[in-house]
Structure 1
């Protein structure tokens, strides 16, 4: 009998924004139902808290510093090999529907067919944002979160509708095929990524609530880390709200888009069930969203809201329940070939979730993330190990959080525990050497800038806002 696997990846969905992990008010009944059938990985991370580098890392199973896809102007081209290539070589039908954030549908990225893909704008992406040195960078005009915030439809919500409809059609067509072949379908949804425009009734449901204020607000005396202050200054979304009421609209819209996402996932899962196809399901997001915490919006940092991701696997071979071992998207990249009994040659940092979840929880497992993209005057690097989260900023003092006693990461204890910082800095360098990667990242971006005719030309190239969906 053939095997089928559906891999759903959303965009900007926070690790905590699901009912099945205890969120106090966000409604995600479809993801909760999927969690009951499978396994929730409670401590999952993105390899980079921004779209394009993460998607290249997820495709290849390699860290950002191993792929060299540093930022949103460096989309995946098809090398190194992806898990899709492994499936193709193994005779598994593998197709995609929706957001990929690669360069071009003609690139050999590991899919037999690519349906209505969202790629980087004009095949080049946000070239201006590769200019990261503080003395040269230029902030884009307009607001990152969108000109309008509130109830309604956006090009992204309409695109998600089209992706879901095409997925429903795909299942129906697949169910009518003759033959018995293994298959894998990747579905890329955009919500809850900004613009913060949310369909009804999802928006009003949260706007009418007495929602809690985000934590650690600078207006209440919280002092942001100097690296974060510089990164956020590239475009300070908190300062660009037109009124306190619009800010409340933004918070409500984000939570409403999380439920809108869940609604769309419910449609996908219902269509799969009604088609009669037998398939397992993996759900994750590419990164999270700060949603006002610390006065920050979007992603681009190593705090839990941005770097943590939801991960649910209802997959044969993965024991049901919860798994507290720290994991990342790189582990999903290893899981997919394993599901089909295929081997992926080469050395990669991830492990199949089938193995991780079958073993006792390993809270000491080391997971890293890194960021070299929009607004970053230098690289930032995260190491998650045991009770600690260590964040190293090139050229700045580090941050250290005791997750056992401070899971919300409210108190930086780096100055109190230099011994732990030294130990974790050494451990980090077993995975990535910031002193080396800093040079490599800037050199790669400098080469890109020169390829477009230099800095003045590069600052005018590519999209300045959220990537547009395809026109058809």
Structure 2
């Protein structure tokens, strides 16, 4: 049977909201089932703590400052290779079922004459995926996001005649008088959505993924099943809406000292509307109950999905990845949403299941290797027997860890955030080009470079909750300087030379290449040229950058 890959991504799922990652009350037996089959990577960090740029790093295998899609709806430029571009030459059908948050580079496509409805144009516009069913999960009446008309039709066939069933049915409740109670308002988070559980977003998109796998036949495929929950609106259908009362919620992680001594950028984010909302206990209580219910629903659907794979024999050939694009503060550190680099925001769950016998020895293990979202594209490429293209991909395949050949993947994890489009930038008076934050984490020390401000520094060994910023402590100046050095080292990486590999450059003999091109710089006579060019240079064009190479 052909090899396959199933790339499952949740949206806004915190790393610590699964039973296999330590939540004391939220049971996720089916996701735990995945962890028993593979390896749970306990220290995985995303390349940006917000949807769009994070996903573009997942899909390109490159850091945010390399691919350039620095915030939501900033287009991924034409020419950036994505997962589908790497797998398609290997004969692997690479499809999407769910969300990408991709914004196409329409201007670049016009410049190159790529029609949006052409085969190549669709791939470029859909982040390299064949869009089996794209559903970004945001369809408010404002109309900024494209509606999933398939879901509209499905809900109407179920008897819902609302103009926008995503907004009015799947993400709204109603009171005893039939008045709509929008899930956008967090006061309604404890109420059941109008949709039946089986008709809500998660079961619907999982069923569509199963449809794809049924139709795919024997050809190799990589399916990106990208769920749109537990991302807001925080509302969930019965019976999930009241499964988790306040006594099952994790206690909030924050101190008054954080607010009193906050870094200027951190302090500004604490004043955002969503942060001020989550500072209120009644908001946390209502939202977290729904958030946990959404995760429990995801887990139930993962059970149905795994059963399907087992029944079809696909579990024996399919590499499975389960992860999230970022986390959710849920009131920790006086924050709502995501966007900064505390673990509730930038750390995500990652489970990788390799069906091959080579991975038998590590099944059920938890790895403490420091890994990043950009490691997934190289892992998929490795699974399908593709070439190593380290001049393009900045991540590393995780298969050597799964096969027990390697324990350490990297020395530091890096995450970037461009806050230029946030009101925080305006209130701080920061120029657009300077609204940048970069996290460097070495497994103990978490350093954040903030352009125009002092840095931040946390010691997660003595302060695992990241409550004390040590950047201004004279006793930690040495660690601060060391982490600054690691950041500077990372900034000096080569990331834009993606058209020729280091290996091709190393194999190139500049003497032969220049002579073959008729460029004779510094020679005194023909005899000197004969002495310089080796006799065994049978093809003097080898390595010439002016000669087309595959």
Q: Which runs of 5+ in 1 are unaligned?
A: 127-141, 435-472
Following superposition, the deviation at residue 76 of structure 1 comes to 3.2
Tell me, in whole angstroms, the C-alpha distance in 2 between the residues paired with 1:363 and 1:421.
23
CA gap of 1:112–1:244, structure 2 versus 1, over 3 A, is closer
1:402 aligns with 2:495: no
Tell me, in whole angstroms, the C-alpha distance in 2 between the residues paired with 1:210 and 1:251.
10
Picking from 373, 376, 379, the partner of 1:335 is 379
CA gap of 1:116–1:66, structure 2 versus 1, over 3 A, is closer
What does residue 166 of structure 1 align with?
A: 208
Picking from 342, 346, 352, the partner of 1:313 is 352
Tell me, in whole angstroms, the C-alpha distance in 1 between the residues paired with 2:12 and 2:332.
15
Assess if the C-alpha contact under 8 Å between 2:101 and 2:136 holds in 1. yes
CA gap of 1:150–1:433, structure 2 versus 1, over 3 A, is farther
Q: Pick the structure with greater CA Rg.
A: 2
Assess if the C-alpha contact under 8 Å between 1:86 and 1:343 holds in 2. no
Q: Which runs of 5+ in 2 are unaligned?
A: 105-115, 117-121, 147-181, 426-434, 494-550
SS at match of 1:14: coil
1:33 aligns with 2:17: no
Does 28-37 or 411-420 show the bigger shift?
411-420
What does residue 174 of structure 2 align with?
A: none
Following superposition, the deviation at residue 96 of structure 1 comes to 1.1
Which residues of 2 match residues 385-400 of structure 1 at below 5 A? Answer: 385-400=442-457
Picking from 371, 392, 398, the partner of 1:347 is 392
Which residues of 2 match residues 61-100 of structure 1 at below 5 A? Answer: 61-76=61-76, 79-100=79-100
What does residue 151 of structure 1 align with?
A: 191
What does residue 371 of structure 1 align with?
A: 417
Equivalent pairs, count: 414
Following superposition, the deviation at residue 30 of structure 1 comes to 0.8
What does residue 271 of structure 1 align with?
A: 308
Tell me, in whole angstroms, the C-alpha distance in 2 between the residues paired with 1:344 and 1:32.
31
SS at match of 2:449: strand
What does residue 161 of structure 2 align with?
A: none
Picking from 472, 481, 496, the partner of 1:415 is 472
SS at match of 1:310: strand
SS at match of 1:411: coil
CA gap of 1:249–1:36, structure 2 versus 1, over 3 A, is same
Assess if the C-alpha contact under 8 Å between 1:60 and 1:81 holds in 2. yes
What does residue 117 of structure 1 align with?
A: 135
SS at match of 1:370: strand
Tell me, in whole angstroms, the C-alpha distance in 2 between the residues paired with 1:368 and 1:401.
15
The one of the two structures with greater contact order (alpha-carbon pairs below 8 A, sep at least 6) is 1
Q: CA-to-partner distance for each residue in 1:121-148, whole Å, 9 max, x for gaps?
A: 899879xxxxxxxxxxxxxxx9977573
Q: CA-to-partner distance for each residue in 1:300-351, whole Å, 9 max, x for gaps?
A: 0000000000000011355321211110110012101111001253333210
Q: CA-to-partner distance for each residue in 1:84-134, whole Å, 9 max, x for gaps?
A: 1111111111111011111368342322343133288899879xxxxxxxx
Picking from 279, 299, 308, the partner of 2:338 is 299
Superposition TM-score, scaled by structure 2 size: 0.69
Assess if the C-alpha contact under 8 Å between 2:137 and 2:228 holds in 1. no
SS at match of 2:457: strand
CA gap of 1:154–1:266, structure 2 versus 1, over 3 A, is farther
Assess if the C-alpha contact under 8 Å between 1:53 and 1:75 holds in 2. no
SS at match of 2:72: coil
Following superposition, the deviation at residue 210 of structure 1 comes to 4.9
Tell me, in whole angstroms, the C-alpha distance in 1 between the residues paired with 2:91 and 2:455.
47
Q: CA-to-partner distance for each residue in 1:344-379, whole Å, 9 max, x for gaps?
A: 533332100112443453386211001003535221
SS at match of 1:369: strand
Q: CA-to-partner distance for each residue in 1:449-472, whole Å, 9 max, x for gaps?
A: xxxxxxxxxxxxxxxxxxxxxxxx
Tell me, in whole angstroms, the C-alpha distance in 2 between the residues paired with 1:322 and 1:211.
25
CA gap of 1:187–1:231, structure 2 versus 1, over 3 A, is same
